[in-house]
């Protein structure tokens, strides 16, 4: 079916497709439309959506609901994401499946509420104490919002962890022609109830990095135990250095970067010049390459930003002589590419934070400079 919809609407359709059955959020531009849609879509399906008194309450509601077995979603923008910080730590520690949409807008503090930028790229990675890995996906189109919403719920279930969707104003609020039926979706993963342990108590977690592990359900048949404090596999508090070490090792290693890597590449097999982009900027790059009929340049669009898809990046970085990294921030993902690139590869950052999209002309000019150099 062909629709004229924006990224926020597509994201809601994707979340519903993935089985989202709980939402809590607090209004903030440009994420508010997700709240409004969920407040009507979920009750229409017999589920619950609620506007919290603030972002802290909203993510708290989601965490509580998620641990009863719900597939929970919340959506915000930079200022609200800042308030989520401590609870994201809890969700990492308690291994809570949860999807968090950050519809990015420009600036720290209030910034330019209705303007686009990619300011939260490193923020979501280091958003809370501990420095543990998170999963973050970045759509660059309306169709991506739909697709990545489904992936996000799947990854949240598979790895029992909060998953971010790093949308942004231009993707979220620009209507486009889209046919979501043409988007090939992954199989939808459902949570499994823990097998009886015989003791009447549910295991909280296994430190063996098992995927899709059955988890204790608050209100389930076996008594569950959830805690944000250091705990053993049964959720009991512990002071044992050995147990604490295995808990923290587990949290640090449980996400398989290759498994969650999503990307798209177009261009020659071994490009001399490579552009690496993500989010809305990818579209400026596409436009530029088409406009100047450039077929020698490779274009790698990253849809998974965290964990860094190192295998993919290293493969492409190995071949190119020059890498162009356009970003609507001061060079946040550049840091990751710089640390992975072979010695001698030239990196050209292209940054813009002026409330406007990067014009394809700027990209074309940068490519021209590369070819003259």
Partner 1 sequence: MPESIQSYLKPEVKSFPFCPGCGHTTNLHHLDKALVQMGADPKKTVIVTDIGCVGLSDQYFDVHAFHGLHGRSITYATGIKLANPELKVIVLMGDGGCGIGGNHLVNAARRNVGITVMVFNNFNFGMTGGEHSVTTPIGGLTVTTSGGNIETPLDVIGLSQVCGAGFGARLTTFDKELPSIMAQAIEFPGFSVLDIWEFCTAYYSPRNDLDKQAMLAISEAHSLPFGILVNRTDRREYTTNLAAQPAKQTKLPPDLSPRFGTLKSGKLELILAGGAGQKIKSTAGILGQAAILSGGYASQKDDYPITVKTGYSSAEVILSPEPIDFTGMMSPSAALILSIEGFQKEKDKLKEMGPGSFVFLEQSLPEPVTQAQIIRVPFEAIAKKVDRNSVALVGLGVLLSKTGWLSKESVEAAIGIGQKAAWLESSLAAFNAGWETGFSV
| Binding-site ranges for partner 1 (CB under 8 A) | 1-5, 9, 13, 22, 24, 40-41, 43-44, 46, 48, 50, 52-54, 56-57, 59-70, 72, 86-87, 90, 94, 113-114, 170, 173-177, 218-221, 223-229, 235-237, 283-284, 286-287, 290, 356-357, 359-360
Q: How far is the CB of 315 from partner 1 (least distance, A)?
A: 25
Structure tokens at 287: 């436009």
d(CA 18, CA 99): 11
Coil, helix or strand at residue 149: helix
> Of 169, 167, 74, which Cα lies nearest the Cα of 113?
169
Q: How far is the CB of 343 from partner 1 (least distance, A)?
A: 34
- For the beta carbon of residue 288, count every other beta carbon within 10 angstroms: 24
> Which stretch of DSSP H or E encloses residue 317?
helix 310-319
Q: How far is the CB of 86 from partner 1 (least distance, A)?
A: 6
Q: HSE (CB half, 13 Å, CA atoms) of 341?
A: 20
Q: Which is nearer to partner 1, 133 or 216 (CB)?
A: 216
Q: Which is nearer to partner 1, 44 or 373 (CB)?
A: 44
Q: Which is nearer to partner 1, 53 or 259 (CB)?
A: 53
Q: How far is the CB of 128 from partner 1 (least distance, A)?
A: 11
Q: Which is nearer to partner 1, 229 or 371 (CB)?
A: 229
Q: How far is the CB of 117 from partner 1 (least distance, A)?
A: 14
Q: Which is nearer to partner 1, 12 or 308 (CB)?
A: 12
Q: How far is the CB of 290 from partner 1 (least distance, A)?
A: 7
List CB contacts of 368: < 8 A, sequence separation 6 or more. Answer: none
Beta bridge partners of 102: 76, 166
Q: Which is nearer to partner 1, 48 or 213 (CB)?
A: 48
Q: How far is the CB of 142 from partner 1 (least distance, A)?
A: 10
Question: In which residue are the tokens 């308690």 written?
Answer: 94
Instruction: Find the length of the chain.
Output: 373
Q: Which is nearer to partner 1, 334 or 357 (CB)?
A: 357
* Distances, alpha carbon 14 to alpha carbons 8, 17, 156, 325, 365, in Å: 10, 5, 14, 29, 37
Q: Which is nearer to partner 1, 249 or 290 (CB)?
A: 290
d(CA 364, CA 354): 19
Q: Are strands 135-137 and 304-306 parallel, antiparallel or unpaired?
A: antiparallel
List CB contacts of 61: < 8 A, sequence separation 6 or more. Answer: 22, 24, 50, 52
Q: How far is the CB of 146 from partner 1 (least distance, A)?
A: 13
């Amino acid at each position: 079916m062909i629709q004229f919809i924006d990224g926020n609407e597509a994201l809601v359709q994707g979340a519903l497709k993935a089985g989202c059955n709980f939402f809590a959020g607090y209004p903030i531009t440009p994420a508010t439309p997700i709240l409004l849609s969920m407040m009507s879509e979920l009750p229409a399906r017999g589920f619950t959506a609620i506007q919290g008194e603030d972002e802290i309450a909203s993510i708290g509601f989601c965490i509580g609901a998620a641990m009863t077995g719900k597939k929970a979603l919340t959506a915000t923008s930079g200022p609200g994401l800042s308030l989520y910080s401590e609870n994201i730590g809890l969700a990492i520690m308690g291994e809570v499946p949860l999807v968090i949409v950050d519809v990015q807008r420009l600036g720290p503090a209030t910034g330019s509420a209705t303007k686009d930028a990619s300011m939260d790229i490193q923020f979501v990675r280091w958003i809370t104490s501990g420095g543990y890995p998170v999963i973050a996906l970045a759509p660059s189109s309306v169709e991506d919002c739909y697709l990545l919403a489904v992936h996000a719920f799947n990854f949240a279930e598979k790895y029992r962890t909060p998953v971010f969707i790093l949308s942004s104003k231009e993707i979220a609020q620009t209507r486009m022609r889209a046919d979501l039926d043409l988007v090939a979706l992954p199989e939808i993963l459902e949570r499994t109830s823990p097998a009886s342990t015989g003791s009447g108590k549910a295991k909280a977690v296994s430190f063996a990095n098992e995927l899709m592990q059955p988890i204790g359900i608050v209100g389930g048949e076996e008594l569950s135990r959830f805690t944000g404090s250091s705990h053993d596999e049964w959720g009991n508090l512990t002071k044992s250095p050995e147990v604490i070490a295995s808990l923290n090792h587990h949290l640090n290693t449980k996400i398989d970067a290759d498994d969650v890597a999503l990307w798209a590449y177009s261009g020659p097999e071994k490009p001399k010049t490579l552009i690496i982009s993500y989010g809305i900027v990818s579209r400026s790059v596409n436009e530029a390459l088409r406009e100047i009929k450039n077929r020698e340049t490779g274009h790698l669009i990253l849809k998974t930003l965290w964990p860094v898809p190192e295998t993919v990046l290293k493969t492409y970085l190995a071949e190119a002589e020059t890498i162009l990294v356009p970003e609507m921030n001061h060079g946040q993902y550049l840091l990751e590419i710089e640390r992975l690139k072979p010695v001698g590869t030239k990196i050209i950052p292209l940054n813009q934070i002026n409330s406007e999209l990067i014009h394809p002309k700027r990209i074309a000019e940068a490519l021209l400079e590369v070819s003259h150099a």
